[in-house]
Chain A
Amino acid sequence: MGTLIMTPESEVLDTSSRYTTDWKEIPGAKRRKKKIKRSAVAAIFVVVAALVFILYKGLSSALVYFYTAQQAVADKTHLGTSTFRMEGVVVPGTVQPTASGVNFSIRFDHTVVPVVEIGAPPQLFQPSVPVVVVGHFSSNASNVFLSDQIMVKHSANYVAAHPSRIKDPGGAS
C-alpha cells in the first residue's frame, strides 16, 4: 500500500493510459458489438447458403423448365424413361377419368402424346387448356407418358365471365 511511489512522469503516463482505455469504452459496447458481428455473420452465412441452393435449383430446373410435347417426342431416344416436365394443350374429347386419376392426350403443333395421370388433376384442368405434366415415358418403345402431377398453365388474358350481363343488366343485346 504505502510502498507505491509515483514519479511525476509515471503518474502522467498512468493517467493518459487510463484515459485512452476509458475513452473508447462505452459500458457494454464491446460485448454488444461482438454479439452484433456474430449474428450478422451467421445471417450472411444463411443467406449465402440460400443463394447457392436457389442457384443450383435455377440451373438444374428453371432454365429448361419443360419440353414441349413436340420436343419430347423428337428427343425421345435421349430422354428415355427419365423424369421431366412436358407441355402441351389438352386435346378435347380425350379426357377420361380413371380409378387412379385421368387419361388424356396433349398436343403441341401436330405432335400428340397420350398421358396417363395418377392422382387428382387440379380444379382448373379441362379440355383445351395448356398444361405441364411431370413424369416419364412408360418405356423406350412406347409414346405413353406416365405422369404424377398436372400443372395448369393459364394465360395472361383476363375476360369477364358474363360481359354482356355486366355491361347491360337489362339484357337488350
Chain B
Amino acid sequence: MARKSWVALVGAFALVTVGVTYVMGLWITPPDVFQGNLVRLIYVHPAVAWVAYLAYGVTSLSSLAYLWKKTRNYKWDLLAASSAEVGVVFTALTLITGSIWGRPTWGVWWTWDARLTTTALLLVLYLGYLALRRVSEDREQRAKRSAVAALIAFIDVPIVHQSVVWWKTLHQSATVFNADLNPKIHGEMAWTLLLGFLSFTVVYVWMVIKRYDIAKAQFKLEDQTIERAIKERVGTV
C-alpha cells in the first residue's frame, strides 16, 4: 500500500475510535456512584496524559538515536521535534481537561499539589525544548543541543507519574497503572477507558506522521533555498 493511503487509514481509524469513545463515554457508560456524570471525563483526561508521556518517550528515544554516532541521522532529530510538539499539545490538553474535571469534583480549578505542579513543569520544560530549537540556525548544533535538552526534560515524566505516590496530593492515585496492576474500575467503564487510551494513541500517531512530513519538507526546502542561492550567484554548480 502506498504511504499516503496508509497514513489516511490511520487517520480514519483515529477518527472512528475517538467517535466510538465519545458515544460510549457520553451515553452508553453508567454514571459513577460518587461522581455521577462527572466521571465521564475519565475517558479523556488520563488518555491524553498517557499520550503526553508516550510523546516524550518517543522524543527521548529519537534524541538518543541522534546522539548515538552509529544511528546519527537528522531524521531522528526531526522525529524528536515532531513528537515533542504533539506532546506539548497533549500536555496542555491534560492540564485543561484536568482543570475542567477538578472544578466540579474537587471544588477548585487549580491547586499546587505535586501532581499538578510537576505536570505544569513538564509543559514548561518541553516549551523550553521547542524554544531552544529556534535559537541555533546550525543544524548539527541545534540537533545536539535539543537532544540533550530532551533527555534532561524527560526526567520529569516518571516524577509526574509517581508524584501521587511520593507526596501527599489532592489528585487521586492511578486507577489502571497502580502498584498491584489491579484496575479499580469495572465493566463498560473499564472498556471505554481502555478504548480512550487506544483512540488518543492513534490520534497521536497520525499527528506525529503529519508533523514529521512537514518537518522533512521544511528541511528539504532549506536545502533547496541554499542551492538556489548558490546557483543564482555562480551559475551552474
| Chain A interfacial positions (CB closer than 8 Å to B) | 19, 22-23, 26, 33, 36-37, 39-41, 43-44, 47-48, 50-51, 54-55, 57-58, 61-66, 87, 121-125, 129, 132, 149-163, 166-167
Q: Are B31 and A36 in touch, CB under 8 angstroms?
A: no
Q: Are A58 and B118 in touch, CB under 8 angstroms?
A: yes
Map CB proximity to A onto B78-106 as digits: 1 under 8 Å, 0 otherwise: 00000000000000000000000000111
Kindly list chain A residues whose C-beta atoms are within 8 Å of the C-beta of B185.
157-158
How far, in Å, is B94 (CB) from chain A's closest CB? 15
Inter-chain CA distance A25–B117, complex, in Å, is 46
Inter-chain CA distance A55–B30, complex, in Å, is 40
Residue among A23, A124, A163 making CB contact with B35, cutoff 8 Å: A124
Is B108 in contact with chain A by the CB < 8 A criterion? yes
Known A-B contacts A47-B128, A54-B117; A40 and B134 likewise in contact (beta carbons under 8 Å): yes
Map CB proximity to A onto B33-58 as digits: 1 under 8 Å, 0 otherwise: 11110110010000000000000000
Interface size on B, as a range, is 35 or more
Kindly list chain B residues whose C-beta atoms are within 8 Å of the C-beta of A41.
135
Is B229 in contact with chain A by the CB < 8 A criterion? yes
Kindly list chain B residues whose C-beta atoms are within 8 Å of the C-beta of A154.
34-35, 105-106, 172
Binds A, one of B3-11, B14-22, B186-194: B186-194
Residue among B105, B107, B168, B170 making CB contact with A121, cutoff 8 Å: B107
How far, in Å, is B108 (CB) from chain A's closest CB? 6
